[in-house]
Structure 1
Amino acid sequence: MTTATPTPPAAEAQPAATVLSATGVTMRFGGLTAVQNVDLTVNSGEIVGLIGPNGAGKTTFFNCLTGLYTPTEGTVSYKDKVLPHKSHLVTQAGVARTFQNIRLFANMTVLENVLVGRHTRTKEGLLSALLRGPGFRRAENQSEQRAMELLEFTGLAAKRDHLARNLPYGEQRKLEIARALASDPGLLLLDEPTAGMNPQETRATQDLVFAIRDQGTAVLVIEHDMRFIFNLCDRVAVLVQGRKLVEGTPDVVQSDERVVAAYLGTPYEGDTSAETAPEDGPEDTTGTTSTKDTEGGTA
């Protein structure tokens, strides 16, 4: 008699690890509170959206997450380690970002722009660069190989020797993403990656973000294109006047009357924001980034 071998029980799905944890993040500029007591998490394998009407504080919140601003209150952690308040150290820890206003090195080639993003992952110092010994050449070759992989990934390999300023707008956006990915981040923050794009470019960007997630990088994205954000994200958080209004799946957020009211500027039953909301005003009156640069006049 043959005895069937019992099938082992399926392993229980392990909960996704938390990549980013922002707790009680508050940012004040003088008497203006631009972001107030915002909590947000991003888990591995997840795409999270951050939306809100103009002046909601989205980019200010991004700047707090990435070390450009030091939050007045609250903590920001990456993989359970509190992030330093220096942008280059945040990048070194594993968090990369793009900007709403494209910030490429216009007079450098496409390849050179991506190589700049590798600086946090190379160990060669000034002396090694001056002597240009075997170790330096080996590191340089490895960096160029990785940069070319990213250009292939983003569809820009054929333009490696073109100046960044000569690329079409949509490809400049892709190049900025490739440069951010060059630091091998575990979390990528995208600030309005489809701003100014036509529908075809927007679809290509959506596919690229999915591919980034599939390669193991979690993504947090600010966007005003609601169709893009709701098709893309696993969860969406809504900021209004510096506070997190609601967070949930795209279906939950789309059907929330508070979100509709916030975008239309109309009150809803039980609305108390008029009593507690901070006064309208520029997001940054003391920092080096102007209000226009911070929110691009649209966030």
Structure 2
Amino acid sequence: MTTTTTTTAETVLDAGGVTMRFGGLTAVRSVDLTVNSGEIVGLIGPNGAGKTTFFNCLTGLYIPTEGRVTYKGTVLPPKPHLVTQAGVARTFQNIRLFSNMTVLENVLVGRHTRTKEGLWSALLRGPGFKRAEAESRERAMELLSFTGLAAKADHLARNLPYGEQRKLEIARALASDPGLLLLDEPTAGMNPQETRAAEDLIFAIRDQGIAVLVIEHDMRFIFNLCDRVACLVQGEKLVEGSPEVVQGDERVVAAYLGTPFEGAPGAEEVAEVEAAEAEASASAPADAAPDGGESTTRTTGPEKETP
């Protein structure tokens, strides 16, 4: 397990009492979670536990029915692009890249929240625009070097191997200079070598001062990576603590094995919540993806969790 590298912890993310209802169905119920500076925090739970729905509440894709989400003490606005601008970036379960754009161009798209040049500056292409463009390219190349993709800057994104597409999505998220990075199943569909590379990359991101919150189904990966782990079961936080505490909790083991425990909802209620989440996801507005990217799915990867 990794250890935190900072001595004075600042609360970067504070989610309090987050509840998300779809009609009369509750997908996330009164979840509290904090992420401090210098931390990697994991969010686990069986399929349909509400993990991605909770992520969507944190990043403005959904407006929580109840509760509040703050970033460094400021309440986050309920719009994805404003959340990104505030300092929170994310990746998605299904890769969302501009497949017909180059690797470099994809990362440059991620810089749009940090450039200040307006429409007229772009049309006139004056000195200010050219300077900002050069700075963006320089920063984008730094991130490609950081993620090991610099040699493929001019390649089309669709031609990258799957593991490198995952790295590119992370590089694009980092282009917005976030203080908090949310990763939704970053190793889904990866082979063991790609998974180890992803682990090293996340450690390196943390070492740059960026807090990380990660959803993952690979228990070995999550327990090696994280300082703290929270487990969601049917939208409620079951337990939170160190990896040793969580993996030794009998309720967590029961939840993953499908063994009922006291207070667990019945299969009928679970199915209703999953259906409501799927319907909400299908009817999400066009700006639901902050990057506006196309979705690239690996056919050999695991089945997508209902968001």
Please give the TM-score of this superposition, normalised by the length of structure 1.
0.90
- Give the match's secondary structure for 1:273: coil
Paired residues, number: 281
Q: How does 1:226-265 map to 2 (within 5 A)?
A: 226-265=219-258
Structure 1 segments unaligned to the other structure (5+ residues): 1-12
Match of 1:103 in 2: 96
In structure 2, which of residues 64, 68, 72 is the aligned counterpart of residue 75 of structure 1? 68
Residues 60 and 79 of structure 2 are in contact (CA less than 8 Å); yes or no, is this contact kept in structure 1?
yes
Match of 1:224 among 217, 221, 224: 217
Deviations 1:29-76 (A, max 9, x none): 112111010000000000000000010000000000000110011000
CA deviation vs aligned residue, 1:253-288 (integer Å, no higher than 9, x gap): 0000000000011134xx22248x954332242342
Query: For 1:297, which of 280, 288, 305 is the aligned residue?
Result: 305
Distance 1:146 1:274 in 2: 48
1:34 corresponds to which of 16, 21, 27: 27
Identity %: 80
The AA in structure 2 aligned to 1:171 is E
Task: Give the partner amino acid of 1:239.
Answer: L
Q: Which residue of 2 aligns with 1:187?
A: 180
Q: What is the match of residue 206 of structure 1?
A: 199
Gaps of 5+ in 2: 1-5, 286-296, 298-302
For 2:20 and 2:54, the matched residues in 1 are separated by 8
State the Cα deviation string for residues 11-34 of structure 1 (Å, max 9, x = none): xx9540000000000011112111
| Cα distance in 2 between the residues matched to 1:251 and 1:220 | 18
Asked whether the equivalents of residues 43 and 218 of structure 1 are also in contact (C-alpha less than 8 Å), the reply is yes
After superposition, the Cα gap between the structure-2 partners of 1:267 and 1:279, relative to the gap in structure 1 and judged at 3 Å, is closer
Equivalences for 1:84-103 in 2 at 5 Å?
Answer: 84-103=77-96
By how many angstroms is 1:172 displaced? 0.2
Question: For 1:284 and 1:37, how far apart are their aligned partners in 2?
Answer: 21
CA contact (8 A) 1:114 1:178 kept: yes
Distance in 1 (CA, whole Å) between partners of 2:260 and 2:62 is 32
**Post-superposition shift, 1:85?**
0.1
Partners of 1:40 and 1:112 in 2: how far apart? 35
CA shift for structure 1 position 120: 0.4
Name the counterpart of 2:279. Answer: 285
Q: Supply the AA of the counterpart residue of 1:143.
A: S
**Contact 2:230–2:241 (8 Å) recurs in 1:** yes
8 Å contact 2:234–2:265 — kept in the other structure? no
> Which secondary structure state, in structure 2, belongs to the residue aligned with residue 193 of structure 1?
coil
| Matched residue type, 1:198 | N
The equivalent residue for 2:294 is: none
Q: Secondary structure at the match of 2:96?
A: coil
Aligned counterparts of 1:246 and 1:279: Cα–Cα separation in 2: 19
2:134 corresponds in structure 1 to 141
TM-score when scaled to structure 2? 0.88
Change (3 A) 1:218 1:296: same
Q: Which residue of 1 aligns with 2:47?
A: 54
- State the partner residue of 2:300: none
Per-residue CA deviation, residues 169-210 of structure 1 (Å, 9 max, x unaligned), is 000000000000000000000000000000000000000000
Instruction: Please tell me whether the aligned partners of residues 239 and 245 of structure 1 are also in contact (alpha carbons under 8 angstroms).
Output: yes
Greater C-alpha Rg? 1
Q: Secondary structure at the residue paired with 2:101?
A: coil
Shift of 1:296: 1.7
Q: In 1, distance between residues paired with 2:153 and 2:227?
A: 33
Once the two structures are TM-superposed, the CA of residue 164 in structure 1 deviates from its matched residue by 0.3
Structure-2 separation of matches of 1:225 and 1:200: 14
Specify the alignment match of 1:273 in structure 2: 264
Could you tell me whether the CA contact under 8 Å between 1:241 and 1:278 is conserved in 2? Answer: no
2:58 to 58, 62, 65: 65
Residue 6 of structure 1 is matched in structure 2 by none
Residue-by-residue CA offset, 1:54-107 (whole Å, 9 max, x unaligned):
100000000000001100110000000000000000000000000000000000
